[in-house]
Structures are given as structure tokens and as C-alpha cells.
Structure 1
Amino acid sequence: MSNNFDIITNSSTSKLKLVLKSLLVGVMTSFVAILYRYALAYAEEYSFIFYNFQRNNKWIIPFCFIILAIIGWIVGKIVEKEPFSGGSGIPQVKGIVGGYLTNRPISIIFYKFIGGVLSIISGLSLGREGPSVQLGACTGDILSKKFKSSRLERRLLMSSGASAGLAAAFNAPLSGVLFSLEEIYKYFSPLVLLSTITAAVASDFIAKEFFGLQPVFNFGKTTPIPLTNYWLLIILGLILGISGVFYNWCTLNSQKIYGKIKLKSSTKMIIPFLFAGVIGLIFPVVLCGGHAVIESLSLSSTLELLILILIGKFIFSMISFGSGAPGGIFFPLLIIGGSIGALFGYVVINYFGVNPEFFNNFIIISMAGYFTAIVRAPITGIILITEMTNSLSHLLSLTIVSIIAYIVAEAFKSKPIYDSLLDSLLKKNNINEYHKESTKKIIIANIIHFGSKAENKTIKDIVLPPNALIVSIKRGQATIVPKGDTILKAGDEILTMTDLSNEWKIRESLEALTTVY
């Protein structure tokens, strides 16, 4: 209760403390994420060496499949031991920050690290970004407990760690900040911005000391697409929007298919590892995150090869992620989006006379559009690809394609992938009703959005959930003691006290009142 009282009455001095704590979270997260990034880079390198050795020494293939089965079984046991170590990690972070789930940060960091490395060294089509976000959030959670933080500050430090993890994974600090605002919180808050940008910039600075200033994708100098060719972007945006809807549908159904297999998790986990063995022998380019795919996307490739790469990467990504193996979908979906762009570029260049120098533009633009259709975070997607390519020349075309892809996905009523994955996670953990009352109280912060149900309403006209009470309103630099006739204005930050056990349900109800989607 003393921490809650401090949140209500002391906002100015706590900001300085929050910045310093977020700075420490960013620094600590950077080292965890850097170590994980190095480990996965070496794991991916050895994975290709492993499969190349098999192709040159076919007598060893049966023994290698036995090794893959054992590794799959071990990873399955890891996920059984620590269920939150499986999958992307981003839905888990959203669930913990939202108050739906409890966190076991040390256990998750340990098992996520081991499981992720084993999955990549085996060749599974998974990424490092989701796990890096989760590792960062867990690091922030550990430090928040050391600081004896309030529940609100704990959430801020966890989201700061998540932003720092993404920043270190992709050399993309702004994307890390926007990801927290757009995906985890889904609203803009000066306090969230302050904490996340501090952690992300600190983490990115340290990561660049290890990995240098080179962008993740180095396409060289790209020539902007002329306005006369922008009609192509409309077609590309439509294709990416529909493809993103299909990706989300396939991802969720791949999980359902695995769920219907009547075997232990440790036994089912062997399936994607055996698939990796087969693919590693016949079509290794689609293994792991996807750097090998990017190197294969060129106009010198045949149309058949580009189609095969796209289909192969898509199917193997579904098999890999649907199993629940530790690893993200973030990077593989960017690679799939880039493959769609390469295929589109090949067709319009070879059959419609478009200038070949725009080929790489279509790859870059498609990454952002596909990401937006799937994740439904357009600003993050635009800034992410800009940071990952270190180029502003395609900013306008990126934005246009992302907006069109977003509209198409919305028109199909396709739910954002991480929201859908969180729903599945909550159902799996049987979280669907109010918990019993608790003597512990927490403070929940919400921003009143323009056009929301709560805007310009008096507090007495607001129907709050049971066991919830607005205890303070922050309007700019002023703190207002709420009364029944106090009118809520857009931009106000309301602080609501409730039982700790009801946190997640109260958050949902308050967001419905204060947010416009």
C-alpha cells in the first residue's frame, strides 16, 4: 500500500528514479540479449555445417536423425518443465504485463536460452526477436523485485526490458520503444515512453559496440520507386494484406493440429526436429531464421526457385512455430514477406517492364507490409524496416503499402497475431473468470483517449467494474483529487485502485472505457 500511495502522491521525483532504473534495465538486458544473439548466430552457422556434412557423408544420416530426435525430446522436456519458455515469448510478456499470468523470470531466462539455442542449431525456422523481448522483460522483472517496485513500476520496467531486448536483437531502438507502445500497451503514455526509450537507447548503444553500426539487412543503396509506379504498391499492399490474414489463420491452426496429437509434449516436439532433418538435406536454404533466404532473393534466381523458397519457408515456419518450440515468428515472417516482395518484383520487372533497380525496394517494402498485416502495428513495422535497412529512401512507399495491408487485414476481421496467441495462452491456462478477492491492492494507470467512452464524462457517470475505484487523475503536471462531478478529459491519466487478484479483468474493462480501437 505504501508503494501505491507513492504512485498517487509523488510523480515528479519518481520520474528521475524511473529513468535511472530503466537505464540499468537497458544495460543489463543488453548483455543478456547480446549473449543470446551470439549464441543463436553460432548455432545457425553450425546448423548449416551439420547438414552440409550429412549431404557429403550420407552414411551418417541415420545417426544424425537420432540426434535430432533426442534434441527434440530434450526441448520438449524443457517446455514441459517451464511452459512459458515455449513459443515466441511476446504473448507471455503481454499476459504478464496485463496481469493475466504470473512470471518466473529466472526459470524462463534459463530454459528459454537453452531451448532457443537447441532449436536453432537443429535448423528450426524460428527467430531471436520474440525470445529477446521475453528475456528483456524477465530481466526488468528481476530488477524490479530488487528495487521493491510497485506493481505499476514493475510493469514499466518489464516493458522497458522488452524494448531493450528488441533493440539489441535488431539494432533498432526506436522500434523497441514503439513496439511497447503499439503492441504491449496499445496506447501512448509519457511515462511508458520515458522508461522504454531510456532502456532501448542504452541497450542499442551497448549492442552496437559488439555488432557494429551495420544494419541487419544490407541491401546497399536503393533508388526510390517513382510516383508513376505507385499503382504497383496498391496491388502489392492488397496481396500482402490477404497473405497476412492467411498467415495468421495458418499459425493458429498449426497449433490446433499439434494440440490434437495424443502424445506427450516431449514426444510431439520431436516432429519439427525430424522435419528439419529432412529439409536440411533437400532444401537447406529455408532453415533457421532466414538470412540464407535473403541471400537467395535476386533477379538472377528463377521464378520457380523464388516460388519454392516462399512456399518452403512458409510451411516450415508453420511446422516449427506450431510445435511450441522456443523461438519467435518475428524474423521468419519478415523473411516470408521479403520473399513475397521478391516474387512480386520478379514478375513486374520481367513481364511488365519495371526498372530492375527497384527489385530490392519490393523486398524491403513487403517486409513492412506483411508485418503490419500480421501484427497490426504499422508504425512499428515502418520504423523497424527503416532501422533494419538503414535507409529512408523508401519511407513513403513503405507507409502506403503498410496502410493498405492494414486496411485489408482489418476488412477480413483478422485478429492481430500476438493477441490471438495470448488468447490461446489464456485458454490453455484456464483464465476466463474473476479470481477470488484479495487483500492486496494495486494501482492501474490508463490514458483517456480522444473519442473514448470516458471522454467528457463525469466520474459518477462512469460505470466501473466491481472492486475498482479511481483514486487520482493526472492532467499535465497537475494531480486532481477525483470527485463525483469531476469531468474526465482526453489525455488525462487516471489511476484506479483494485484488488490484485482482479487485475487482468479490471484492465480489460478500463481499456474498453478509455481506449478507441
Structure 2
Amino acid sequence: MFQRGESTSNEPVRRRFSRRFQVSLVAEGALVGLFGGGVVTLYRLALSGAEGLLRGIISQISNSPLLIACWFAVLALILVIVSRLLLWEPATSGSGIPQVDAEVEGALDAPWKHVIPAKFLEGTLLTFAGLSMGREGPSVQLGGMSGKAVSRALGRKRGEERLLVTCGAAAGMSAAFHAPFTGVLFALEEIHKQFSAPLIISVMCSAVVSDLLVSQVVGLSPVLDLSLAQNLPHVTYPLVIVLGVLCGLVGALHNRGMFAVQDLFSHVRSHLPYARLALPFALAGVAAFAWPDLLCGGEAIVEQLLSPAGMTLGAILGLLLGKYALTAICFGSGAPGGTLYPLVVMGGLFGGLFFVLVGNAFGIEQAFFLNFVALGVAGLFSGVVRAPVTAVILVFELTGSLDALLSVSLVSILAFVTASLTDTDAFYEHLLKPFLAQASRSRHEAAERKDLGSIRVGAGARIEGMCVRDVPWPDGIRIVVIHRAGDELIPTGETVVHAMDELLFIAGESATDDARMKLGLMCEPRVRS
């Protein structure tokens, strides 16, 4: 344990491993959940109001050419306002999830005072304009920035700030989907990519507080209420396997198409961002009167999925292709909206399409339609995002039942493996790359600051059983504490590294990410022959 009289330079280390810190981190997670959940709740209400107003206006003016022309003038005004907001705060471009990833990685330090109001207003205006974008990505960014605001208000250091940003991301996802465990798993599996008991508890606390808050305002129903009438019989599992593989392939195609559209828009380099946003705004205006089901996140499509009696093969295929095309163009332009909810909607459509194609051929009852919709949601989510555990938990919370756990897990794993074998980037990892590259280019210009990081030694890791002096530690880092079974050890050269040790290291802030990557390989669990 730490002794009295040690240098005050060890104060951050004491705080990091003290039990009081672990308790305070839970309390701070709850505070982040309260603040982030409140912001996202207001955001959901604003988006619901904007979409309701949009559909009311469309129904009233659809037979008047003059009023339709006036609506396009309104869209032009919204385009200008959104573009000015993007120029005021560029960190709000896109869904917002890559920006939160970059914050946690230490590659971005966005001003929360700008991001929260700008993202809130941008998302509301885009929904009112009808662009095919969802609320989940912006909700994650709003939650993450709420965590950053709490961190700054409490005077926390950069390392702890990243933990609170992760808590905020969980709160945002929880409030957006009304699914707290999905928020927890998404924040840990996709954003923080590390698991430790204090972090898991604080993230869970943040997500639960956020969900409690939003449920008091908008009710208890999930955004996609997939109540399954009965379980899939095991005789249908060969079809489940086929669906899982297809979801992986379609997930890879989804990503490649999205990235290709993004690359096409990158060739537009003048009058930004006005020129890039012009096409999605124009297409949203046309869709409002030609095919309104494609507008916004996809709530109109969800209503049809939940009442599938009139959905033919052609209708499902048309909605799937149309939704994907409009979402890809909106996303590729850099419009400040999300793609997660449209992804969930497209996953449901793909599952429904698969059922229509094979249901009659194999004599599957119509009552199982929603089962395949749920499997499509999990499979496409896993194939696109490469977060299979989050996909399983998401469907569990959407269905409210563990009965489908086996089939959903099977589809998610197969989709993950299949998509990975196509050598296609995971969606958010690909979007994160520009932020990491930009951070790498600017690091040599930044003043060197010290930052704390931690990593756990896995069972069978390469450094397990080695003395500290014999480990080829990455350049620029120093191991300051080893946390072992509740004790804090100050390492010497003779200290032996054990499995499940948590190593606290200090490094220049610009080197922390590289050190974490190298240490991750050294501490990775593996089976020894």
C-alpha cells in the first residue's frame, strides 16, 4: 500500500486505485446519466415533435404545387442554417459516434459547450427536413459530451474524463433505444473496448439512471417493440444459419457502399458544407411527396413491420433498397445525423425479406415473421458494427424475452465471422481512422503532457511470469503501480507479473494510445501449447 510521506506526484495514482475513487466513479456515472439522459430525453422529444410536424405539413400541402415550392424554399433555409452550425462546430459532422470514440482514444478534444447545442439543433432541423438519419448516433455524442461537461465541472483529469465520456455514451444509447443494457454493452464493446469492474459498474449506473429518466417522460415501450408470439422450432435452425451468413455478407456490402458514397462526396471540395448537403436535402424534399415512408429514421417502416399483413416481397425489397440509398447519400454528405436506427430498420426489413422468400417454400407459419425480423436486426447490426454481444442484448431488450437468445446469438456470431472474413472494415472503426490520423499528424505540435492509463494482464499473456526488468516495455511509458487482488504494489525490477494484474502506467499523453496498443498485444490472453 502507499505510505504516508510519499511525493504528491503519486496523488493521481492513489486516487486511481483508492476505494473512494471507485465509489466516486459510480456516483459520477449516475450524475452523467442524469445530465446526459436529460439532454437526450429533450432531444428525443424535439425529434418526435419535428417529425410529427413534418408529416402534418406534407399531408396538408401535397396537392398544392405552390406550397410544395415553398417547402423546397424552407429546405434551402434549413440547409443554410445546418451548414452554418457545422462551420461553427465541425465536430458535430456525421453521426457523432466516431467523435466519441476519438475522445476516448485521446485523439479529439471537442468543446462540449459548442457540440451539445449545435448537435441538438442540427438533429432537430434534419428531422424536420426529413433526411434519412437516426437519433442514436447523435444521442451517443450528446451523452458523451454531457459526460465531458460533468468531468470539467468536477475538475477531473483527462484520464478520468475519458471514463466519464464512456459513461455518457452509455447514457445516450440507453435513452435513445430505451435499452440500458444495450447502452452498457455498446459503450464497452464499441467505444471504450476495455472491461474493468469499476468502469462496468459506473457505466451501468449511468445507463440505468438515464433509462429511468427517459422512461418517466416517454414511457416504457422500446423504440421497436418486437413481441414474439412463439419461439422458432429447432427444425428451422438451418435457415437461421443461412440468415446469419447472409447478414454478414449484406453487412459487408452495406459498409462498402457507405464508404464508397462517402468517398464520392469527398471529391466535392468547394462551397463546403453547403455543396455536399444540397443533394440529400433535395432528395428528402422529393421523397416527402413521392415516397414519405423513407423519411427520417424509419418509424413509418417500423409500423409496417409490426403489422406485416400487407407487406409483399416487392414492397419489402423496395423499402430496403430505397432506405439504404437515401441513408447512404445522407450519411456520405457528412450531414450531422445517425445511421444506427436506419440500420436497425434495414435489418428488420432484411429479416422480413428472408422470411417472405423462404417461408412459403418451407411451410413456416406467418406467426414467425417477427422472429425473423428480430434475427435480421441482430444479424445486420453485428455484420455492420462488429459488436455481436451488443446485437444480442439489443434484440433481447427489444423483444423482452430470453427465449430467442440461442437463435439471435447464432445469427450474430455468424454475421460477425462472415463479415470479418470479407476483409471489410467495421463501420465505426473505419470512420474513426481520419480522427486518429489527424491526431497523429498534430501530436508533434502539441506540448507533451503526462497521462495515466491502465491495462489488465490476461491469462497466458506473453509477459505473465516475467520480471518487470525483463519485459520489453514500449518506449515512453513507465509502470507505476500494479493492482493485484485488492493490493497496490510499487513495482521493482524483481517484481513478477502475474495474470489478472492491472498495470497502471504513465506516459506522455501523445504516446498513451500507441503504448496501450503495444501493451494490449503483450497482455493479450492466449492459450499456451
TM-score class, shorter: over 0.9
What letter matches 1:83 in structure 2?
P
Correspondence for 1:239: 246
Question: Is the aligned partner of 1:449 residue 2:455?
Answer: no
What letter matches 1:459 in structure 2?
V
Of 461-470 and 414-423, more deviation after overlay is shown by 461-470
Pair 224,147 (structure 1): closer, same or farther in 2 beyond 3 Å? same
Of 259-268 and 158-167, more deviation after overlay is shown by 259-268
Correspondence for 1:269: 277
Q: Are the aligned partners of 2:351 and 2:377 in contact in 1 as well (CA < 8 Å)?
A: yes
Deviations 1:431-455 (A, max 9, x none): 3475357453111111223354444
Of 88-97 and 417-426, more deviation after overlay is shown by 417-426
Question: Is the aligned partner of 1:98 residue 2:108?
Answer: no
Deviations 1:407-452 (A, max 9, x none): 101111222111110003334x363475357453111111223354
Shift of 1:136: 1.0
Counterpart pick for 1:161 among 168, 189, 198: 168
- Matched residues in 1 for 2:508 and 2:8: separation? 15
Pairwise CA RMSD of aligned residues?
2.0
- Give the match's secondary structure for 2:131: coil
- Matched residues in 2 for 1:452 and 1:79: separation? 45
Correspondence for 1:440: 449
Question: Is the aligned partner of 1:315 residue 2:325?
Answer: yes
Q: Are the aligned partners of 1:80 and 1:266 in contact in 2 as well (CA < 8 Å)?
A: no
- Give the match's secondary structure for 2:310: coil
Structure 1: runs of 5+ lacking an equivalent = none
- Give the match's secondary structure for 1:56: coil
The count of residues paired between Structure 1 and Structure 2 equals 516
Pair 436,82 (structure 1): closer, same or farther in 2 beyond 3 Å? closer
Question: Is the aligned partner of 1:304 residue 2:314?
Answer: yes
Q: Are the aligned partners of 1:434 and 1:505 in contact in 2 as well (CA < 8 Å)?
A: no
Q: Are the aligned partners of 2:228 and 2:399 in contact in 1 as well (CA < 8 Å)?
A: no
Question: Is the aligned partner of 1:108 residue 2:118?
Answer: no
Deviations 1:138-177 (A, max 9, x none): 1111111111112222111111111111111111111111
Counterpart pick for 2:237 among 230, 233, 248: 230
Deviations 1:51-96 (A, max 9, x none): 3333222332222112212212221221122111111111101101
Correspondence for 1:6: 12
Correspondence for 1:495: 504
What letter matches 1:181 in structure 2?
L
Q: Are the aligned partners of 1:365 and 1:401 in contact in 2 as well (CA < 8 Å)?
A: yes
Correspondence for 1:383: 393
Deviations 1:312-367 (A, max 9, x none): 00101101111111111111101111110011111122333211111010001110
Question: Is the aligned partner of 1:28 residue 2:30?
Answer: no
Counterpart pick for 1:485 among 474, 488, 494: 494
Q: Are the aligned partners of 2:135 and 2:176 in contact in 1 as well (CA < 8 Å)?
A: yes
- Matched residues in 2 for 1:4 and 1:172: separation? 39
- Matched residues in 2 for 1:2 and 1:182: separation? 35
Correspondence for 1:474: 483
Counterpart pick for 1:203 among 202, 205, 210: 210
Counterpart pick for 1:294 among 291, 299, 302: 302
Pair 288,511 (structure 1): closer, same or farther in 2 beyond 3 Å? same
What letter matches 1:490 in structure 2?
A
- Matched residues in 2 for 1:27 and 1:364: separation? 30
Pair 456,338 (structure 1): closer, same or farther in 2 beyond 3 Å? farther
Deviations 1:483-509 (A, max 9, x none): 223333332211111112333333333
What letter matches 1:287 in structure 2?
L
Pair 27,441 (structure 1): closer, same or farther in 2 beyond 3 Å? same
Q: Are the aligned partners of 1:437 and 1:502 in contact in 2 as well (CA < 8 Å)?
A: no
Q: Are the aligned partners of 2:457 and 2:525 in contact in 1 as well (CA < 8 Å)?
A: no
- Matched residues in 1 for 2:231 and 2:203: separation? 32
Shift of 1:299: 4.1
Counterpart pick for 1:43 among 44, 50, 54: 50
What letter matches 2:487 in structure 1?
A
Correspondence for 2:220: 213
- TM-score, with normalisation over the residues of structure 2? 0.93
- Matched residues in 2 for 1:406 and 1:222: separation? 27
Shift of 1:514: 3.0
Correspondence for 1:117: 124
What letter matches 1:374 in structure 2?
V
Shift of 1:100: 0.8
| Identity, % of aligned positions | 36
- Give the match's secondary structure for 1:230: helix
Question: Is the aligned partner of 1:351 residue 2:386?
Answer: no
What letter matches 1:34 in structure 2?
T
- Give the match's secondary structure for 2:29: helix
Q: Are the aligned partners of 1:472 and 1:494 in contact in 2 as well (CA < 8 Å)?
A: yes
Q: Are the aligned partners of 2:468 and 2:497 in contact in 1 as well (CA < 8 Å)?
A: yes
Counterpart pick for 2:159 among 140, 143, 152: 152
Correspondence for 1:340: 350
What letter matches 2:281 in structure 1?
F
Q: Are the aligned partners of 1:73 and 1:270 in contact in 2 as well (CA < 8 Å)?
A: no
- Matched residues in 1 for 2:8 and 2:395: separation? 43
Counterpart pick for 1:369 among 372, 379, 387: 379
